[in-house]
Amino acid sequence: MKSLATNPGLNPAHSTALPNADFWSGKHVLLTGHTGFKGAWLAQWLVSMGAKVTAIALKPNTEPNVFALAKVSSHLAHHELDICDMSHVATIVKQVQPEIVLHLAAQALVRESYSDPLRTFSVNVMGTANVLDALRHCDSVRSIVVVTTDKVYANQEWIWPYRETDRLGGHDPYSASKTGTEIVVASYRSSFFAAKGVTVATARAGNVIGGGDWSADRIIPDAVRAWSANETLQVRRPQAVRPWQHVIEPLCAYLVLAERAWSDATAAKAWNFGPQTHEAATVREVVGIAQAAFGQGRVQWGDGKDGPHEAGLLMLDTSLAKSQLGVQSVFPLKDAIGMTMRWYRDLQAGQTAAKLCERDIAYFIKQASAVG
């Protein structure tokens, strides 16, 4: 990745552990879900470090999308397939013989899970089982990271952040399906992978923001769409509290975790990743910061009663990641939102998506290396 200009005016909250490019260079990596928002960013980061990436996913489900805009497929071995197709997944794994697996493919939207719960369970639970089942027959694999969500917890909507050992649950189909993913991973880990010396970890992160997300029913993409068209942003639940992070932050954590899992069997467990607890914010606060950063935009506030149930309060305890992996949040919320809105503005001004992603990753690495 080329060194690009930094973002002026932003200050890191903390330094954090970073992925080692020398470690990733030449590694055979299987990445699932690379056509999605997080997956496309992660694919670019892996390629920049010299990893040999094979990636499997469905077609992007939004137009536009960062996968196409950044021409991600031109830098890796791209396979368009459904992880619910067990035989196709097994064929790819057998051909590629990956050393490291980063499993991000999922149906990742809460509201869509209400519209199509069976598809959500099929992709998130059985799709993960298909990937893991193919990998248990693969002798080359050493490190597997399965991405789930902060929503796996039996959320009581209280003020205390959840630790990895807290009870799992899931009110909506998306949350329940990701809890099912955790159970599938735990079973495959203890039944098959532990005896083979393969370390399998799960990563639980919260709401991510960043340039290149055009998903439906996500607050920043909704805001960009509305304000770019001079329309009013409709906000359903302005008082809902979430742990918000720039997309680069959890991706960094996944990479650091995968590195640790390569050589340390004790990494085979669940890990929370997210901002410091005091950085959790309401949707209203996030929209206000985004509005100021974007420079324009009207908002219509809802009363929280529209649509199916969504959690009102959720926070994570990330002490384990900080103490054992050296991973912690770098950007304060205001800076993460500012970077995000700048990405969209700069894209509209004619800069390329690939260069914008490169710029932000390079800036993150520079800031994360600072003493905080």
Looking at this protein, which amino acid is placed at residue 359? R
Vertex 39 angle, CA 105 and 341, to 5°: 130
Contacts of 229 (CB under 8 A, 6+ apart): none
Full-model pTM: 0.94
Question: CB atoms < 10 A from the CB of 228, how many?
Answer: 14
Q: According to the model, what pLDDT value does residue 1 have?
A: 38
Q: 88 and 134 in contact (C-beta within 8 Å)?
A: no
Q: Which domains does the chain have, with CATH numbers?
A: 21-368 (3.40.50.720)
Q: According to the model, what pLDDT value does residue 309 have?
A: 65
Closest Cα partner for 138 from 200, 95, 79?
A: 95
CA dist., res. 138 & res. 193, Å (int): 10
Angle of the 86-96 helix axis to the 128-135 helix axis, nearest 10: 40
Eight-state DSSP code of residue 88: H
What are the DSSP calls for 216-232, one per residue?
TT-HHHHHHHHHHTT-E
CA dist., res. 258 & res. 186, Å (int): 17
Q: According to the model, what pLDDT value does residue 371 have?
A: 47
Vertex 224 angle, CA 220 and 228, to 5°: 170
Q: For each of the chain's 372 residues, which pLDDT tens digit applies?
A: 333 333 434 444 568 999 999 999 999 999 999 999 999 999 999 999 999 999 999 999 999 999 999 999 999 999 999 999 999 999 999 999 999 999 999 999 999 999 999 999 999 999 999 999 999 999 999 999 999 999 999 999 999 999 999 999 999 999 999 999 999 999 999 999 999 999 999 999 989 999 999 998 899 999 999 999 999 999 989 998 888 999 999 999 999 999 999 999 999 999 999 998 888 899 999 999 999 999 889 999 998 777 776 777 899 999 999 999 999 999 999 999 999 999 999 999 999 999 999 999 999 999 998 744
How far are the Cα atoms of 129, 173, 184, 237 from residue 116, in angstroms, in the given order?
20, 9, 21, 22
Q: According to the model, what pLDDT value does residue 9 have?
A: 40
